[in-house]
Amino acid sequence: MAVSNDIIDISSSAAPTQPPPSASHRLPTQSASTALLGLSRRGPSFLTTGIGSLDRQLAPQSRNGDGGLERGKIAELWGPVGAGKTALAFQTAKGALKRTAHVVWIDCATLLSGASAKGIADAADSFHYVAAPTLSHLLALIISPPAGLIPRGTVLLVVDGLNTLVDLDYPRLPYNSRARTDQQKGQAGRRYAILGSIMTALNKLAALHDLAVIVTTGCSSRMRHDSGLGASISPGIGGSEWENGISSRMLIFRDFDGRFIGVQRCLGRNVTPLDPVGDVRNVVGFEFTASGALEEHIIDLTSSTSDGATVQKPSVLPSPAKVVRKRIYDEIADSEDDEDEYGWAEADDVAIATQTMPERSASVKAADAV
């Protein structure tokens, strides 16, 4: 049975009528006038944090004088647990919601409290909350975002507690640890590659959707034995790729019953040395109100109290009583009674008894002459 082999002529086939997928095309071109009109309609270029002094430090050369977090850039808030990182990010989100804009919140650590959710009840439709339980979920969300993740009109994206997911999959190891396995060494090297991928994806989202990105991270302790200084805190996430992608960086900490925000980087430039350990400048004090909002609070840094009150001098304690020794030291008596200890007295008596009378008289005369 013969089988017919059909020969297909490629040259005679009809040209495809469907256009190539949009992913293979570049961004559509537009005129300069259209781009200018879009810039004027997009709203302010900065998002306020609700603290005036902090906004002016983050954008000292803003045209409108409003200041704050720049759209299209990434800002990092780092510090110890309970310092106020999430509260500052949430207050920035509330300020954006008041302008009828949309906010996307990706939670990597702790769920938002009920009190915080009640504060945005009026704008619940504009607040989009997503929980990322693992690092794989987070990477899937930001590298290949779903169609409805960032709706139209979004001006702020918050990634809260990023270091929690990174530390779970790629934990930090002691610097001088010698008992590292091959798997741990591979994870330590992979950690920086993952952080670079996260930074690239966040910068892409910020640029394409013209939104500000806030990333909250934790901190780690560092001992400084060689320099003679005490322990200090350092950012929990770092690396060259991460540092280059950050536009603004703020340290939030608590000290002497006061809370502070230190600006370490703004508009892509460092205002502190490259190693931020133990160096905090441009400090802004703040406190929580009864409603949970953050407001600026001037704190006297020369005093150990938050209200700047004069510290009372400690009362002078009486001198401690003399400590009674266990054994009383008496004066050592003369050793006259101890001359028989080695038998010297007995030997002298024997020598005297055996002497003759002339020898004894001669020894007495010699003693008298001396």
161-184 in b/e form (b: 16+ CB < 10 A) is: bbbbbbbeebeeeeeeeeeeeeee
Q: Calculate mean pLDDT across residues 351-365.
A: 63
The CA distance from 109 to 86, in Å, is: 11
User: What was the pLDDT predicted at 245?
Assistant: 93
The CA distance from 230 to 224, in Å, is: 6
**Cβ count within 10 A of residue 200:** 14
Q: Is the pLDDT of residue 58 over 80?
A: yes
Domain extent listing, the chain: 42-173+181-296
The CA distance from 253 to 84, in Å, is: 8
- Quote the mean pLDDT of the chain: 77
The CA distance from 157 to 295, in Å, is: 22
CB distance 107 to 132 below 8 Å: yes
321: helix, strand or coil = coil
User: What was the pLDDT predicted at 311?
Assistant: 39
Class of domain 42-173+181-296: alpha beta
Instruction: Enumerate residues 6+ apart whose C-beta is below 8 A from 124.
Output: none
Q: H or E element: which one contains 104?
A: strand 102-107
Q: Residues of the chain with pLDDT > 90: what percent?
A: 33
Q: Give the tens place of pLDDT for each residue, 5-41.
A: 555 454 444 544 555 555 445 556 767 776 666 655 5
* Number of separate helices (H) and strands (E) present in the chain: 10, 14
Query: Considering only 53-67, 111-125, 138-152, 269-283, which range has the smallest mean pLDDT?
Result: 269-283
Q: Calculate mean pLDDT across residues 216-239.
A: 80
Q: Give the tens place of pLDDT for each residue, 109-142.
A: 888 776 777 778 788 899 999 999 999 999 999 9
As given in the structure block, the two tokens for residue 218 are 């934790």
User: What was the pLDDT predicted at 144?
Assistant: 93
The CA distance from 260 to 251, in Å, is: 8
Higher-scoring residue by pLDDT: 157, 292: 157
Highest mean pLDDT among 148-157, 175-184, 187-196: 148-157
pTM of the model: 0.69
Q: Which residues pair with 262 in a beta bridge?
A: 251, 283
